[in-house]
Chains A and B, each alone.
Chain A
Amino acid sequence: MRRVLPVAGLVLALLWLVVPLAPVLVWAGAERWSYPDLLPGAWGVTGWRDAAAAGLPFALLRSLALGLAVAAVATPLGVMTGRVLGWRLTGRPRLVVAALLVPLVLPPFAVAMGLDVVLIRVGLPELVSVVLLLSVVAIPYTAYTSATAFARTSPELEAQARALGATPRQARLRVVLPAVRGSILVAALLAFLVGWSDYVVTLLVGGGQLVTAPVLLGAAASGSGNDAAVAAMALATLVPPVALVTVAALRVRSSGRTAADRLPESVPPEERMR
């Protein structure tokens, strides 16, 4: 009984996590799937062909560009803020934390709706506006991730580099940044995911001109009736972020294991686990 409960729990947990995505996986390879059959009557790539004809490849490229642009803007801003928070360089950390909570609390659609009216008057290009707004949405994630990394890294590191003759810029770029590189990559990944996954801000501020993969999927899912093409679009939108996160997680896990292996035997198992 003691072993059955965790195994049953694990199976139920995996079912909860995986089953909601199963229809997309099956439909993406279905040529014909009549009701009420439990499996497709014929397999094929018609859905992929229809999705490609609807503009999926270019939509994926636009999503990639948007994700990279958001990561490029939000990561440095978040790292700078995270350094201040992690090393407690400010006398008013609550003010910084409160400002970082704003994009998490305010619904993005409300901010986007207001900005849209302003941006029409200012004449800022839609793409720039979308990148700007999504970067602001991503900054809390990049800042908190960086803050955790800086909190684990001693500020003395920078001071020692300065004492050895490094300029402030050299100390940051050649000593501090390599020490927190892993977390900065995770922060950039989170910012990329914000840009890649967004639907409502891109649609509202982009005015329908910026057709990313989620925007294309939203249009198809709400009215095309072509389930195979919709599933192909969904799967194509799903794979890149999931693959990136999986690779990042495996890399972090393997580097963590290597670091744990380097600890001396005298270190207690609990400390090694930490």
Chain B
Amino acid sequence: MTSRGAGGAAPGIVAITVVAGTGMAAVVATSVGLMPLYGEPAPSLDGWRSAAPDLVAGIGESLLIAVPATVLAALVGFLLATLMLGGGRAAAVLRLACLAVLAVPHLVGATSVSLLLGDGGVGARLAARAGGDGWPALVGGSWPVATVLELAWKESAFVALVVLAAVAPGHRMRMQVAAGLGARPVQRLVRVLLPTAAPAVGAASLVTLVYAIGSYEVAWLLGRAVPEPLPVLAFRLFGSIELTDRPAAAAAAVTGSVLALCVAVPALAALPRLRALSSGGAP
């Protein structure tokens, strides 16, 4: 097609490039001492050195939150989409509920989950009423359970809607053809629905994973104090009264960005292969 009119994309692309490029260049420069808040720039790796132990722990904690949250969101999201594919009024109610959850700000979700799973929360009250020995520390405990559940809860609605949009057109006909060819319900699910939904599940899971790696407020509100995931570590150091902590904060931010890129770039490269496999064509 002609490239006439392609200039319409320029303002948006320029805005993204300038803002994201400037932000990332500045945070990298800050991490190596080239953009101090006060004083003369002095190249140094002190920020990286001082933050190194926390960065390693932060990468581990970020992945400990993001990977289970993504797996759970993908699994539940796929199941929700499967239910919605059945059609009818129930599917419409479910779709509306998914849309509503999608619109809930993560901070509100985290607040509500803390009132549900925290000490003195609804879960603890139910356990106490049932005569339990005590409520486990799901909020701020030794495992980031509440953080994972909040992210999985909200992102499962996102996965479900993405999968529904991708699979719904022609779904009934595909199922009828498969049934006509003698496929049992389980075979239809495994051999028809799963391959058809795989690219959408993969793409939505990638967005969820990258989002969870960069998410601040949920882990900050529901997570444990030590170790901190990278966004929480970066934010804490950024707000420190010690100006020397700024390069360390920037180092944590750069590490978070590199981690997100390391996850996203190979996954983006693999997505077309997944799509080709599902359509039966060559990658």
A residues neighboring B (CB under 8 Å): 6, 9-10, 13-14, 16-24, 26-27, 35-38, 77-78, 80-81, 83-85, 87-91, 96, 99-115, 117-118, 120, 132-133, 135-136, 139, 143, 193, 196-197, 199-200, 204, 214, 217-218, 221-222, 227, 230-231, 234, 237-238, 241-242, 244-246, 249-250, 253, 269-270, 273-274
- Say whether B231 contacts A107, CB under 8 Å: yes
Measured between beta carbons, the chain A residues less than 8 angstroms from B30 are 113-114, 117
Measured between beta carbons, the chain B residues less than 8 angstroms from A104 are 207, 210
* B216 on interface, CB distance cutoff 8 Å: yes
Measured between beta carbons, the chain B residues less than 8 angstroms from A80 are 8-9, 11-12
User: Which of A23, A115, A242, A244 lies in contact with B23, CB distance below 8 A?
Assistant: A115
Residue of B nearest to A121 (CB): B35
- Say whether A117 contacts B214, CB under 8 Å: no
Measured between beta carbons, the chain A residues less than 8 angstroms from B113 are 20
Measured between beta carbons, the chain B residues less than 8 angstroms from A23 are 112, 115-116, 121-122
- Say whether B12 contacts A78, CB under 8 Å: yes
* B189 on interface, CB distance cutoff 8 Å: no
- Say whether B24 contacts A111, CB under 8 Å: yes
Measured between beta carbons, the chain A residues less than 8 angstroms from B69 are none
List 19 additional A-B contacts (Cβ < 8 Å) besides A14-B94, A221-B221. Answer: A13-B94, A22-B112, A89-B3, A89-B9, A91-B3, A102-B16, A107-B214, A107-B231, A113-B23, A114-B22, A114-B24, A117-B26, A136-B20, A197-B105, A214-B217, A221-B114, A231-B115, A237-B108, A270-B172
Name the interface size band of chain B: 35 or more
Of B3, B37, B95, B107, the most chain A CB neighbours within 10 A belong to B107
By DSSP majority rule, is chain A's interface helix, strand, loop, or mixed? helix
- Say whether B2 contacts A10, CB under 8 Å: no
Per the 8 Å Cβ criterion, residues 122-139 of B in contact with A are 122, 124-126, 128-129
Per the 8 Å Cβ criterion, residues 216-272 of B in contact with A are 216-217, 220-221, 231, 234-235, 238, 249-250, 253-254, 256-257, 260-261, 264, 268
- Say whether B100 contacts A115, CB under 8 Å: no
B residues neighboring A (CB under 8 Å): 1-6, 8-9, 11-13, 15-17, 19-20, 22-28, 30, 35, 37, 76, 79-80, 83, 86, 90, 92-116, 120-122, 124-126, 128-129, 149-150, 153, 156-157, 168-170, 172-173, 207, 210, 213-214, 216-217, 220-221, 231, 234-235, 238, 249-250, 253-254, 256-257, 260-261, 264, 268
Measured between beta carbons, the chain A residues less than 8 angstroms from B13 are 81, 96, 99-100
- Say whether B24 contacts A106, CB under 8 Å: yes
The 5 A-B residue pairs whose C-beta atoms are closest, nearest first, are A107-B214, A114-B27, A111-B23, A114-B26, A23-B115
User: Which of A77, A110, A222 lies in contact with B27, CB distance below 8 A?
Assistant: A110
